Amino acid sequence: MKIGLVSRNQWLRHLASMGCLLAILGCFVLAPLTAGAATASGALGPVTPKDLVYQIITDRFVDGDTGNNVPNGFDPTLFDGSGTDLKLYQGGDWQGIINKISYLKDMGVTAVWISAPYANRDTAILDYQSGGGVDRWTSFHGYHVRNYFATNKHFGALSQFKALRDALHAQGMKLVIDFVTNHSSRWKNPTNGYTPEDGKLYEPDKDANGNYCFDVNGEPYDCSGPTGVENLLADPNNDTNGWFHGLGDRGSDSSRFGYRHKELGSLADFSQENAAVVAHLEKAAGFWKALGVDGFRHDATLHMNPAFVKGLKDAIDSASGGPLAHFGEFFIGRPDPKYDEYRTFPDRTGVNNLDFEYYRASTNAFGSFTETMAQFGSMLTQTSADYIYENQAVTFLDNHDVTRFRYVQPNDRPFHAAIATLMTARGTPNIYYGTEQYMSSADSSDIAGRGFMQVVAPSFSQTTTAYTTIKKLAALRASNEALAYGQTSVLYSNNDVLVFSRKFYDKEVVVAVNRQPAVNYTVPVLSTTLPAGTYTDALTGTLFGTSNTVSGGQLASFALAGGQVNVWSYN
């Protein structure tokens, strides 16, 4: 959209220069949030670019309450607990996160993204192998909803979820929950001739007035006699009310219709054209908003109609408590024919993207070295122009759906350089649990990267170089608005070196990165808008950085040793 002769990006920045920051897609709060509830729902408010998000697969973090490892009725053979069989539950829970809040807080984390908190399918998922064996899987990840209005008892009761919320909020830390509205669980087994399997959706029992029945602790209970604590709402294998599309797996169908209406891995795909389905999903989201969460990470947004996504976001934000943070998984490659649809999705729906373009470019530049640092810098400037809300895109090096970055890049120096760049580049940075402890994986699969952190990195060291780098740059991001809201300019680049600036009014941060672990470079004198003076490295030498001087609008020539990162800040 053009307004006069300027683009909307330029228009928004012009308004910002007059002291206005538009809250079109959620608030940008320039003043730091203090501990304690800031909204009517008890939430602290939306995630902003000043935040550092930390993603936790709840089952794979810390087992803080062994009493919920095998909930009533659960097959105990589907629990492992040793970190060996990653297809099974390991025991991580909300109490485990509570136990590590000080560890997260000290690292500079200000928002914690956890697995979907509601009840999931809790029976074995059987994958029959061509050689005759059978792999047994569980829904430990939270992406196979069974009942939106009951907690996942592997993680804890509702009282424990509230305890987690309160413990985070007491430290000024926001709580973001994963939320799945694209599908339920697998309804046909593709490894066994597509025989009927599950996919069923349940809801709590209702009283005579049609209201859900919850006890004093917020737990569903049987209030109408023999029907039980929960009742079947929809079954894709007997879909009499049209709750599911039922069109089969998408396979190689790359059409827009295929992505939005066919199934992702045989997961029963909700028919979001059905008003009853929409009403139920919006009611479910409202239920969790009322519990005081600060944001929603929306799963599989690529596979949903943007009109539904916008309606869901609007329903959440218009409910009591005001707007929350919204970001979602619009999964793309690089290059990708869906790029235009991806980059415009936040403007069309109000749901920001997990920045897969940043992820792909970072993996290639810092991981496999299949792209140059000059190309990475071009991506930063191009997406800053392409994205309307570029600083609200949630950037990441890896997550639960992709290969662990440490597996791609086992060398410390480019690994640390990638972390430092993530923490200083445009967007809202997200750290995947264990990255600060160098968690890797046995192979390149996403499941191999979902290790049990208390087993893999039991010390939870607060002195690793990765942890220290994140901590120092999280503090800088919180204190210097240039990192949160600044425009990006590339000052210098070649195959292995990138020098870029983030500038917001008179505040500025200049970052110089050498990805090569053992090759030194000399960067020539560069023009800069930094005021004259001597600038010390904001990382205080953690990544071998040194001081530099500015005189007459010129940044003095400097050497970059292998893996060196300089961060010079003017605030």
Quick one: DSSP state of residue 447?
Answer: G
Told to judge if 106 belongs to the known catalytic residues of this protein, a careful annotator would answer no
Choose the catalytic residue: 230, 269, 329, 537: 329
For residue 186, how many other CB atoms are within 10 A of its CB? 23
**Order of strands across the sheet with 174-179?**
352-353, 325-328, 295-298, 174-179, 111-114, 53-55, 428-432, 394-396
- Listed in sequence order, the residues at least 6 apart from 556 whose beta carbon sits closer than 8 Å to its beta carbon are 525, 548, 549, 550
How many residues in total does the chain contain? 571
Sort 443 into a burial class: Cβ within 10 Å, 0-12 / 13-18 / 19+.
exposed
Sort 39 into a burial class: Cβ within 10 Å, 0-12 / 13-18 / 19+.
middle
- Listed in sequence order, the residues at least 6 apart from 197 whose beta carbon sits closer than 8 Å to its beta carbon are 125, 186, 187, 188, 189, 266
Q: Give me the residue label for tokens 């792209």.
A: 371
For residue 73, how many other CB atoms are within 10 A of its CB? 8
C-alpha 295/C-alpha 63 separation (Å) is 24
306-318 and 275-289 helices cross at what angle (nearest 10)?
A: 40
**Helix ranges restricted to H, 80-193:** 94-99, 101-107, 158-170
Quick one: DSSP state of residue 19?
Answer: T
- Listed in sequence order, the residues at least 6 apart from 147 whose beta carbon sits closer than 8 Å to its beta carbon are 118, 119, 201, 202, 203, 204, 220, 230
Q: Give me the residue label for tokens 């001087």.
A: 549
- The answer to whether 151 and 93 are in contact (CB under 8 A) is no
- The answer to whether 324 and 26 are in contact (CB under 8 A) is yes
Q: Is 285 left (phi over 0), alpha (psi -120 to 50) or beta?
A: alpha
C-alpha 422/C-alpha 404 separation (Å) is 15
- Listed in sequence order, the residues at least 6 apart from 67 whose beta carbon sits closer than 8 Å to its beta carbon are none
Closest CA to 57 of 142, 120, 164, 134: 142
Strand partners, 66: none
- The answer to whether 144 and 267 are in contact (CB under 8 A) is yes
Strand partners, 147: 119, 202
Closest CA to 393 of 466, 467, 332, 304: 332
Which one-letter amino acid corresponds to residue 357? E
Choose the catalytic residue: 122, 263, 269, 299: 299
CA-CA-CA-CA torsion for 142, 145, 148, 149, nearest 10 degrees?
Answer: -80
φ, ψ for residue 284, nearest 5 deg: -65, -45
Told to judge if 135 belongs to the known catalytic residues of this protein, a careful annotator would answer no
Catalytic site positions: 299, 329
